[in-house]
């Protein structure tokens, strides 16, 4: 006989869990007690939200399921933002929450919250274990659901008495869930039709999203693009799914996408969408999105298809499998002179690339934020794991760090969660102890989970936090500048902590950069420092992210740079 | 009744796991995504591990497609069928409590008879009548009862089943 808490930990070990991120509390005391005797390493974050983001960063960077643990009530509700973040970006995450004893549920007990009810719309599925006999099977199902199909977070709520109860149950060998059978192979008829459409197009473009990274289809994506010479753009979530240095790569598309990517999409006659979901930040005004293009949409989630944009040929299944089948189908038509067909088109695409490449103006006395990102890219040879917060720091990272490999950029794309970067970097460093992990943050967003510096210090996780400090909530300020007549309502952060002092107070190294010549030196020193580092770069206060598609405009109607008078 | 040109009214039959919380998953899917629920009825099936939800909704073709896909995405949903696309029968039931003292009792009985209704309760001043049928019949009956003075109405919402041998059996269970 074991108790529930012991069975719980045994199940986690069998699922391959080596690390969990969490914060203890009353109803999970028994679990935390047994955890001391377990092989599973527990990372104590200083806020449950950070535990969820750390588990998320661990998962995004390793491809494994991330696990976080919190107590009932406020512990559980503090996970909510982290769970929603993982849900929007299809991250396999399991959130275990303590719950008051089954006999107290519903009675407004101390630290009771209906976390299953609260997280229903932000989880792929969730469970309340009401009988210890269901515990092992529930954990098995939770992991199965989280990592299969379109991955996503699953929450398991564990009443205190479930962890105390004696049980003879064991981890089940198999899992079977009626009504849950994700489809992995594309329909052959649809694949044939897609191949025909590709062969009959003259202006094709590949639009790839996070699904490529989740299904480990990067190699196939490159092969597909090279087979017919199709220019390729990715979403924020897809960055690294296609090597940025590849001649067919256009950069990111959408609101802050490159001129070439947005023009190519807008003038295409065929979009091959792979594991992307036509998010509003990508499409801009729907009516003006790729008006002349037919769309082939490969996605494992049927509900992602024709949700925002009407699709001509949907193919439901796993991106890697379908790309392979699609290439096999295309190769049957080896007589077609594909590359000649796209030659003219590529000339046009290259002209757009030359016409308006990503650019910013360097100045002598003030650091440009883009410069910091470029320098981090150069000094890490493009091979660091980079987390971002949300806002300008996120977009500059997406634009100026050239991601060559998948699972290197960890960013909250769908939910847009400020405060994600530092805890996600901690999780990524736990999962990749030998990798260099950078968190590129803003001075606003870093303060949303800055307490996690102590977690990095405690567990000797040498994350490098680069704050692009402009003394503003920069992206909101940018919108206020452009669309609200420079009325900077609640975005001025001039009253700000001394970040170097904060770093030191937590026991991390802090460095301050004030002029462009400091940047390289500081980043080098950070890389050569064994422990966690905070780099506070004082950057140009009112630098904007360009290109920019104003809200409600078509993506070809970009603002390419600051108005002339400002120069 | 007043259907807009591209609005479709649909009766969905949804087979779900008979577990606590499933109904709220279905309902919160609709509220969270802004879909409309006109009526909803749920009860266990002949297989006690499964429940059947009959849900009447409306929306454009695109919305209905999303509703179908989103429902299928719920782990506890086993099968969704748009019964209104098939040859089917549907029924709902209404209980109407009206003013009905001795002076109108005979008229009430005649009215109930016309609608094949049953008088299921009577007191000195009230009378409760049960009528089953398609929506149009229920509406007509309620209209008729208005003249007597309706005190209270309880309607079940629609249930539906396809005609002939077709059934809403769960799909094959994969190993």
Each residue's pLDDT tens digit in chain B (175 positions)? Answer: 344 445 688 999 999 999 989 999 999 999 999 999 999 999 999 999 999 999 999 999 999 999 999 999 999 999 999 999 999 999 999 999 999 888 999 999 999 999 999 999 999 999 999 999 999 999 999 999 999 999 999 999 999 999 998 898 765 443 3
Domain at B78, CATH number = 3.30.70.260
Q: Is B91 helix (H, G, I), strand (E, B) or coil?
A: strand
Residue finishing a domain among B24, B55, B85: B85
With contact defined as beta carbons under 8 Å apart, do B68 and B148 qualify? no
Mean of the pLDDT values across residues A46-58?
98
Average pLDDT, chain A: 96
CA distance A497 to B72: 49
Domain count, chain A: 3
Q: Are residues A377 and A441 in the same domain?
A: yes
Cα B73 to Cα A121: distance, rounded to the nearest angstrom: 12
B72 and B98 both lie in a single domain? no
Residue B174 lies in a domain: no
Same domain, yes or no: B71 and B13: yes
Contact flag A179-B79 (C-beta cutoff 8 Å): yes
Q: Is residue B167 part of a domain?
A: no
pLDDT over 80 at A69, yes or no: yes
Q: A153: which chain B residues are within 8 Å (Cβ-Cβ)?
A: none
Would the pLDDT of A459 be above 70?
yes
Please report the sign of the dihedral spanned by the C-alpha atoms of residue A419, residue A216, residue A294, residue A309: negative
Q: How far away is chain B from the Cα of A125, in angstroms, using its nearest Cα?
A: 7
Is A428 within 8 Å of A435 (Cβ atoms)?
yes
pLDDT at A337: 72
> Do A348 and A373 share a domain, yes or no?
no
First to last CA, chain A: 75
pLDDT tens string A320-373: 999 999 999 999 987 667 778 889 999 999 999 999 999 999 999 999 999 999
A318 and A205 inside one domain: yes
Instruction: Give yes or no: residues B45 and B100 share one domain.
Output: no
- Answer yes or no: do A374 and A347 share one domain: no
Per-residue pLDDT tens over the stretch A189-244: 999 999 999 999 999 999 999 999 999 999 999 999 999 899 999 999 999 999 99
Whether residue A308 is found in the same domain as residue A417: no
- Asked whether residue A59 carries a pLDDT value surpassing 90, the answer given is yes
Is residue A565 very low, low, confident or very high in pLDDT (cuts 50, 70, 90)?
Answer: low
Q: Which residues of chain B are at the A interface, by a Cβ-Cβ cutoff of 8 Å?
A: 17, 21, 24-25, 28-29, 32, 62, 65-66, 69-70, 72-79, 170-171, 173-175
For chain B, helix (H) and strand (E) counts, in that order, are 4, 9
pLDDT at A262: 97
Name the residue range of residue B123's domain: 89-159
Residue B2: predicted pLDDT: 40
In a domain, A94, yes or no: yes
Judge whether residue A26 has pLDDT over 70.
yes
- Whether B65 and B102 share a structural domain: no
Between chain A and chain B, how many beta carbons pairs sit less than 8 Å apart? 45
Beta-ladder partners of A306: none
Looking at the 3D structure of chain B, how many domains does it have? Answer: 2
CATH classification at residue B113: 3.30.70.1150
Q: Which of B85, B113, B131 is the last residue of a domain?
A: B85
* Burial class, B124, CB count within 10 angstroms (exposed 0-12 / middle 13-18 / buried 19+): exposed
The answer to whether A311 and A333 have CB atoms below 8 angstroms apart is no
Q: Are residues B79 and B12 in the same domain?
A: yes
Partner residue facing A303 (CB), from B17, B28, B69: B69
Question: B162 with B83: CB under 8 angstroms?
Answer: yes
pLDDT at position A228, please? Answer: 87
**Among candidates A191, A221, A193, which has minimal Cα distance to A208?**
A221
Domain with A414, as residue range(s), is 369-545
Looking at residue A305, what DSSP letter applies?
Answer: T
Q: Which chain B residues contact residue A121 at CB under 8 A?
A: 28-29, 32
Last residue of a domain, one of B53, B85, B117: B85
Interval A285-318: pLDDT, tens: 999 999 999 999 999 999 999 899 999 999 999 9
């Amino acid at each position: 006989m074991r108790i529930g808490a012991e069975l719980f930990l045994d199940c986690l070990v069998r699922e391959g869990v080596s690390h969990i991120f969490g914060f203890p509390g009353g109803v999970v005391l028994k679990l935390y007690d047994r955890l001391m005797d377990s092989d599973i390493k527990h990372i104590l974050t200083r806020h449950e939200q950070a535990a969820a983001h750390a588990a998320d960063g661990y998962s995004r960077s390793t491809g494994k399921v991330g696990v976080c643990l919190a107590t009932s009530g406020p512990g559980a509700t503090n996970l909510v933002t982290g769970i929603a973040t993982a849900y929007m970006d299809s991250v396999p995450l399991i959130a275990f929450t303590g719950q008051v004893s089954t006999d107290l549920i519903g009675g407004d007990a101390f630290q009771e919250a209906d976390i299953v009810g609260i997280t229903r719309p932000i989880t792929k599925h969730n469970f309340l274990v009401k009988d210890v006999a269901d515990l092992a099977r529930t954990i098995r199902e939770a992991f199965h659901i989280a990592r299969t199909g379109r991955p996503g977070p699953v929450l398991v709520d564990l009443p205190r008495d479930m962890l105390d109860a004696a049980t003879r149950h064991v981890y089940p060998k198999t899992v079977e869930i009626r009504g849950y059978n994700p489809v992995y192979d594309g329909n052959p008829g649809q694949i044939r039709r897609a191949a025909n459409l590709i062969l009959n197009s003259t202006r094709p473009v590949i639009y790839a999203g996070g699904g490529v990274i989740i299904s480990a289809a990067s190699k196939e994506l490159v092969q597909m693009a090279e087979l017919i010479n199709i220019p390729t753009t990715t979403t924020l979530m897809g960055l690294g799914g296609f090597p940025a240095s590849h001649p067919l790569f256009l950069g990111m598309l959408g609101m802050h996408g490159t001129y070439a990517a947005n023009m190519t999409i807008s003038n295409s006659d065929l979009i091959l969408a792979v594991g992307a979901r036509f998010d509003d930040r990508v499409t801009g005004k729907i009516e003006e999105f790729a008006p002349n293009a037919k769309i082939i949409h490969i996605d494992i989630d049927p509900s992602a298809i024709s949700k925002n944009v009407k699709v001509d040929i949907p193919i439901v299944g796993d991106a890697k499998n379908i790309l392979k089948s699609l290439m096999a189908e295309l190769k049957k038509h080896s007589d077609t002179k594909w590359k000649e067909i796209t030659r003219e088109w590529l000339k046009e695409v290259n002209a757009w690339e030359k016409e308006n490449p990503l650019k910013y103006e360097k100045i002598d006395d003030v650091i440009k934020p883009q410069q910091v990102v470029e320098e981090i890219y150069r000094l890490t040879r493009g091979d660091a794991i980079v987390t971002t917060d949300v806002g300008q720091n996120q977009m500059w990272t997406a634009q100026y760090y050239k991601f060559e490999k998948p699972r290197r950029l960890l960013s909250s794309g769908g939910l847009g969660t400020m405060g994600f970067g530092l805890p996600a970097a901690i999780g990524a460093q736990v999962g990749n102890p030998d990798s260099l992990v950078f968190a590129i943050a803003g001075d606003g967003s870093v303060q949303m989970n800055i307490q996690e510096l102590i977690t990095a210090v405690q567990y000797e996780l040498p994350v490098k936090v680069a704050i692009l400090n402009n003394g503003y909530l920069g992206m909101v300020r940018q919108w206020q500048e452009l669309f609200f007549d420079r009325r900077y309502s609640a975005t001025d952060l001039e009253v700000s902590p001394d970040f170097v002092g904060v770093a030191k107070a937590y026991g991390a190294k802090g460095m301050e950069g004030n002029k462009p010549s400091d940047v390289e030196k500081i980043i080098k020193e950070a890389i050569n420092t064994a422990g966690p580092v905070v780099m506070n770069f004082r950057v140009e206060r009112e630098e904007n992210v360009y290109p920019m598609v104003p809200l409600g405009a078509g993506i070809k109607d970009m603002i390419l740079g600051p108005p002339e008078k400002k120069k | 009744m007043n259907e807009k040109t591209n609005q479709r009214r649909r009766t969905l039959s949804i087979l779900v796991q008979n577990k606590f919380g499933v109904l709220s998953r279905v309902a919160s899917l609709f509220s969270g995504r802004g879909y409309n629920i006109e009526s909803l009825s749920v009860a266990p099936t002949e297989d006690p591990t499964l429940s059947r939800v009959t849900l009447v909704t409306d929306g454009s073709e695109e919305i209905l497609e999303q509703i179908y896909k989103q429902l299928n995405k719920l782990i506890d949903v086993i099968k969704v069928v748009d019964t209104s696309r098939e040859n089917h029968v549907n029924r709902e039931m209404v209980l109407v409590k009206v003013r009905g003292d001795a002076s109108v009792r005979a008229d009430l009985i005649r009215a109930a008879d016309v609608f094949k209704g049953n008088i299921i309760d009577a007191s000195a001043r009230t009378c409760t009548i049960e009528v089953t049928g398609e929506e149009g019949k229920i509406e007509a009956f309620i209209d008729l009862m208005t003249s007597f003075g309706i005190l209270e109405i309880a309607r079940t919402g629609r249930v539906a089943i396809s005609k002939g041998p077709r059934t809403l059996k769960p799909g094959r269970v994969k190993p």
